[in-house]
Chain A
Amino acid sequence: MEKESVEGRFVNHAEDKNFGDVMVVGGGISGIQASLDLAETGFKVYLVDKSPAIGGKMSQLDKTFPTNDCSMCIESPKFIECDRHPNIEILTYTEVDRVEGEAGDFKVTLIKKPRYVKEDKCTGCTTCVEHCPVNVPDPFNQDLSHNKAIHIYFSQAVPLITYVDPEACLYFKDEKCNICVGVCKNEAIDLNQREEKVEIEVGAIILSPGYEIFDPKVRGDYGYGKFENVVTSLDFERLLCSTGPYEGEILRPSDLKHPHNIAWIQCVGSRQILEGGNSYCSGVCCAYTQKQVILTKDHDAEAKATIFHNDIRSFGKDFERFYQRTENLPGVRFIRSYVSIGKEIPETKNVTIRYATSEDGVKEEEFDLVVLSVGLNPPDKVEELANKYGIELNAHKFCGTNPENPIETTRPGIFVSGAFQGPIDIPESVMTASGADALCSQLLAYRRGKLAKERTYPPEKDVSGERPRVGVFVCHCGANIGRVVDVPSVVEYASTLPNVVHAQESLFACSTDNAQQIADTIKEKGLNRVVVAACTPRTHEPLFRDTLREGGINPYFFEMANIREHCSWVHSREAKDATEKAKGIVRMSIARTGLLEPLQEFELPVDKRGVVVGGGPAGMTSALSLADQGFEVYLVEKEPDLGGMARRLYFTLEGLDVQAYLGDLIRRVYRNSSIHVYTDAAITEASGYVGNFTTKLTTEGMAREIKHGITIIATGAEEYRPTEHLYGEDDRVLTSVELGEQIAKGEERVINASSLVMIQCVGCRNEDRNYCSRVCCSHSVKNALKLKELNPEMNITIIYRDMRTYGFKEDYYREAADKGVKFIRYEPDDKPEVETAEEEGKPILRVTVSDPILGQRLALNADLLTLAAAVIPSPTTNEIARLFKVTLNPDGFFQEAHVKLRPVDFGADGVFLCGTAHYPKHLTETISQAYGAAGRAATILTKDSVVASGAICEVNENDCVSCGACISVCTYGAIEFHDTPKGKKARVNPILCKGDGLCNSRCPTGAISLKHFTDDEVFSQIDAALPALEAEAALIDIQPMNKAKIAA
């Protein structure tokens, strides 16, 4: 425990205040993740955002696909992490003016725009907002609701500081009104503030400016801006959100009534070559629309939803199931048709849409609300941005990148992460952020840790002799809890309960100032237990535990009562009962805190070597990045040669020569003295834990044992060997990869074929493999284009279900169609059939397929048939999962810790994931993810020690009867017998124990117990939930539902 006081929270090693390691420009989820990773790796970061708060577009979203996690709930803990991290300085409302210098030594001039509020004085109390007489459209809510001319950008904003909109403020018109200045008790408002220039010096820059949404107003697309009830998908996102304009009620703009019949129009602004549109596919709209449909049905089960779409591009992990889930909801129609807006009905303001289907021809239908699924544009003023940084843009005005390293811009020392690379979703934005961290860390390895600071806490107070003094903080969560649960009455109730010495409300208990206030109250009132009644411990417990440390007490004296998920959200229509239930939950938590014990977390030393399993491009890229960051790496490959699946690939759609790239990569790996390559290797045993793994393997017949601190799993994937369509029976039937190989080898029968048919989705998007293999549509287009180049006369037909050439790959799909490649769509219940036949005495393959447009069966004669065979998990996957104790998803690919925000981490600490072992992906995506994994791994390897949880099991040897029941259920192998004078007794290895507590429930004598969840602690909660029968009458009548104790 450090001896510094909380006032001197940050120990400042930096000589010069304006000297940093990396500047991250753009505080969306990608910039946030890059900053956190850099800060954790020991670099000082300036996080610069032009908005009044960090958060970016993700903070405006209601939920995230395909898990429907609440967007703000998973992102806002990261705001706070950034805010509290001693190595991150956040500069909001700030623009970059000029960048000079070169990699390792950039001088940046920043302009801090005037907020007209002193940042160090404002407490975020919003008294000024209440008194401000001017209403302005609220940009955070897409101008759908109003805010004041002085306001906080959004409720969970970091920094939680107001700013003045000078366009709207009356003071800036005629200097008449300065009410806000008068009401601010802290004298924080300064209407004479001017813009300020700040100069900083950094070694590297990460650009994460994100994207803008396509604005349909410009061309008046689909009546947007003209008809009130036509909104964009981002407008709709705000309508869905509980912090949105109508507090989560979906109300349409014209009459603020609930729309029951809603239409979505896909590809608005995307996949168009018209003036003002974008030719590329925005990649995210299919999935976000499906999410919006599911959420709409959650809000209103009777609602009807119609989606007018082109191809459905569910190419991401778990997207196919998400699509099916949406499609199977009652009242949901997916209609494949181009549409046009008909008219607005004057009386109802409903809007009609004209569309056409092959069954019914042209129709016109009326809807209550129309949502435009708008695509992603490059950021605003992108040319100016490019000039400022001296970087090149691509044809679509996104960042120009190198296909061999998609995180590098064209200027050394400047990297790109997130959607400025091109239209990508949140997980990719996060993994490229970690990748950008890795590249900065490679560049600046020599100066790592020189500017970093450490957080210190006040000494921990020993409260063992004290009786419990519980403080209760009941959170409104803005309106999330407060509009259903009667928060003041919960506070009042809590203050009557035993041991409670302080109870109060909080608007956002998790906001920086409220958390600080909790820490202060602990000290002022001598609290030794804290209950926060708010949301879920899953996202917020770490923050509040930290708050307790800042208040000077052990973090395990904290207990969270979840009155949002368990009360306000599920019982939103039963406010009274929800309040009673909240009281019950708070009562349970308070009872439990009385028994909590202070626990110590372990500091474990870190072995600064890494193991990378899998020697394909993913594994090699990760290994090289770690080596360049200064760590020793063991690269383990099961085959005799490095290269993996890429050995069978020759060119990419974008024209990368894969073999040349791969050869160079392999050479760099072998030449790097920090990388030890083990080929022909089989891992036989893996044990240990984060910071201290031991892996045993045999390589070229010899046994080896490696000690290492982290593991990256990059075991890749394989191509499915089809059993369909005569594959293996007729040598004219090839897979896509085989076709690519034969083209590269100049195989004459391939290049000179007069007709070629390709069948997509062979072996996936079916019952056996309910996922899309993501890469096959682009692979087929790639092969088709190559063949057209070599033999323009060749007849090529691609038989597909949905062409999933997402992102910029759409251009190649269009090019193929322009060059005469024919595309015929088929339905899964009417698959193409293949037979051998003779045509004019020549043996051919005959493919028959129903043409949905012509409505008849077509017979195609082909010299060659290729099957776009599924990408399937590597056969070693199960074994690797078992050895490293990590999990697989239902499709047999590795399962990351969190689909959105921890895309390269495993649930098991210290183990990371990249490449096609995670899910099928293109080579450039694999490279990005490999840098991401290396970046995440380095956050551990740069540290001297890692901390393990205190909530683990412990044996009271006096009660142990050596029955071994605990050992038999501990798959972690954390419990062993050891000899004592009284015989063999069980003992827990605190590092291996993960705190599941199975041993505790199996021990017949109660000798082993799970700390923080002991029998007595759980009993205290049960007793508080259900006071003994005689006492019950005296207590509030709890509803039967609440009585059912919810476990786990």
Chain B
Amino acid sequence: MDDIAVSFRHVSMAFPGVLANDDVSLDIRKGEVFALVGENGAGKSTLMNVLYGINAPTDGQVFINDREVTEFSPRTAIGMGVGMVHQHFMLVPSFTVAQNIVMSREPRRWRVFFDNAAAERQTRHLVEEFGLEVEADLPVEELSVGLQQRVEILKTLFRGAEILILDEPTAVLTPQETDELFSVIRRVVRERNMTVIIITHKLYEVMAISDRVGVMRKGKLVGVRDTAQVDEKLLASMMVGRPMLYDHLEKTGVPGREMICVRDLVVRDNRGLVAVNGLSLSVRAGEVLGIAAIEGNGQSELIEAITGMRRPESGSVTLDGRDATGLSPGQIRAMGLAHVPEDRLATGVSRDATVADNLLTGKQRQRRFNRFGFHQRTSTIERYAQELYEKFDIRGAGTDVTVGSMSGGNMQKVVIAREFSFDTPILIISQPTRGVDVGAIEFIHSHIIDRRNHGCAILLSSADLDEVFRLSDRIITLYEGRITGEFTGTFSKEEIGYRMTGSRKDKEAAS
């Protein structure tokens, strides 16, 4: 058949300990937008890495335009017309746009020299041809994320791609950038008859852009449908294997006194830019305040400033009536705060330490774990770790393996177990269930609400809006470091989504 662009036949891919792709057979047609959906770790990226030649499959065959792939390498894949835009951009930050685009196919002068002028010329041609506006001579590190992605797409087009793979392309984009991306996709498909494969886990995007959709679960392809014939609900249930039905969370009690009070806080990010811009908020005991914001709008810096991970530029943070501005995490924790950080691997655990050590961390100076205040009581620590391990339903090979060897979900449970067991009146929680499987999400959510019902003041930030809706008593929307809206009672998804993209009611009222 000559209308098939890519054909996977019984492809299996095994990594040490995991079967990432399990006997996948799939045909993708020429000129269609094919969406590949599934939860984290379902094997979508692995399958696409096979197509792009980064991994050779353990078993099975791959055909591109009816030619069997015999040698798996990016070079061969590129030669067969496959281009891939990775989730993490494959761009050299210090090189210019043109230098990145022509990489590995550099125009040359006198056979050995790089012809920069020609590279920029070719880039401009490409820009005009596809209408993807970008400056050829700017270093990539000075471009916005959306523009960098555009450079990635141009790069694949430059290499003559007919089949374009986009790995979670919208994860880092603003809604406007997402719209632009989608119109680019539509244009290349329509005008060039390109085949686009888009990996995502955002179902509304599947509905918006794709012609057909394939659903993966635990390494298996569980179904392929025409997008027109499915809805988000059906896709969601295919993804998780059962209809997503959350139990009702019982919220009890009334908010008590003010536990977290932030006034006119200004915080700079790693680049020295103002990320939190004169923000004020307060959280009371027995209340969950949810932050709804697109990544990179100051929520990370706000939380880091409250928890002492980052020094605020100006403004104040008061915890339970005491000033906590600019103190160290140690001092702030001593005031009764625990913190589930957004970046589990970098901040939340020590991968090389055992589960027991990770659970003990922060309590190592407590009397019960030390004789004479310094000699560690090994058996008490063991027992304590075992206790938490069971209480928080951590599943793995015991408390004595390194945390790095565990799955993301169990790692997160270790973090939750440790932080919740401080039993503090204040909890700051970021991304509590990122990369965590459905069962564990339910478990973590009920624990959060349990803490709330016991009078804990909780500040919650999550990229998963449904999670924020489900857990919060109040929601604030952040845009570019400022609060753009506050919601209580029943939340309107549309309204909150609108505020997250920077539209302020008071601004509209003023105009």
A and B, one complex? no
